Amino acid sequence: MIGCTLVHNVYVLSILAFFSGISQGVNSSGVSGTIPTTICSHHFSEAIAISYFVDGVAMQLGGFFSGFLHDLLGSTIYIYRLDAGLCFMILPWVFVWACTDDSVQQCQPEINPKKV
């Protein structure tokens, strides 16, 4: 997404947006694949539901927020810069999380029984 701040050609922006969409799909699959390694089996279904719910809300509100920023600032470049900045801000957390050796967090299902 950082390339979108430097490019003003609509065709190049379209190609970059295409690859951004592909990376969002890969990211969603990756998150779904890592949930079983980080969440206990007792809370697995809740974690998947929360993950997909947050993805859906972000997709729905992202367009409104981007439109608001475009109207406020007058250019879409600032939206791409904000997106790139947020991605770079989250990188340290991702590296710390990926380098930990913690196994699946175990819970106490007998204390909080799952309602069926």
Of 20 and 69, the structure prediction assigns the larger pLDDT to: 69
> What is the residue whose two structure tokens read 């810069």?
81
Q: Read off the pLDDT of residues 71-83 as tens digits, 9 standing for 90 and up.
A: 888 887 888 888 8
Lowest mean pLDDT: which of 6-10, 55-59, 69-73, 84-88? 6-10
Average pLDDT in the chain? 77
Residue 40: count of CB within 10 angstroms of its CB:
14
Q: What is the pLDDT of residue 109?
A: 59
Nearest to 47 by CA among 60, 62, 59, 31: 31
Phi/psi of residue 41, nearest 5 degrees: -65, -25
The reported pTM is 0.57
CA 69 and chain centroid, separation: 20
113 dihedral zone (left: phi>0; alpha: psi -120 to 50; beta): beta
Task: Please tell me the distance from the alpha carbon of residue 18 to that of residue 96, in angstroms, as a whole number.
Answer: 29
